[in-house]
Amino acid sequence: MMNQKTATYEAIKSVIDFEDNTVVTLTKDQKAEVKAILVEQFENNEIELKSEQEDLGKYVNGLINNWLRKDKRLNGNIEYKAKNPGSRAGQGDAQIKNLRLLLKTDIDETAKAEVQAAIEARLAEIKPEKKIEVDPTAIPEHLKHLVPTM
31 within 8 A of 64, measured Cβ to Cβ: yes
Neighbours of 86 (CB within 10 A): 9
The span from the CA of 18 to the CA of 30, in Å, is 13
- What distances in angstroms separate CA 5 from CA 49, 71, 73, one per listed residue? 12, 8, 11
Domain ranges of the chain: 4-70, 94-126
Predicted local confidence at residue 150, as pLDDT: 54
**Residue 149: its pLDDT value, please?**
73
For range 106-115, the mean pLDDT: 94
The whole-number pLDDT of residue 23 equals: 95
Provide the mean pLDDT of the chain: 90
CA distances from 73 to 23, 70, 78 (A): 8, 9, 9
- pLDDT interval class at 129 (50, 70, 90): low
pLDDT digits (tens, 9 = 90+) for 58-91: 999 999 999 999 999 999 999 988 777 666 777 7
Q: Give the Å distances, CA to CA, from 144 to 43, 133, 136.
A: 62, 14, 6
In this prediction, residue 132 has a pLDDT band, given cuts at 50, 70 and 90, of confident
Greater confidence (90 vs 23) lies with 23
Q: Are 41 and 34 spatial neighbours (Cβ–Cβ below 8 Å)?
A: no
Over residues 29-64, the pLDDT tens digits come to 999 999 999 999 999 999 999 888 999 999 999 999
Q: Which segments of 1-150 are extended strands (E)?
A: none
In this predicted structure, what is the pLDDT of residue 140? Answer: 92
pTM of the model: 0.60
DSSP 142: G
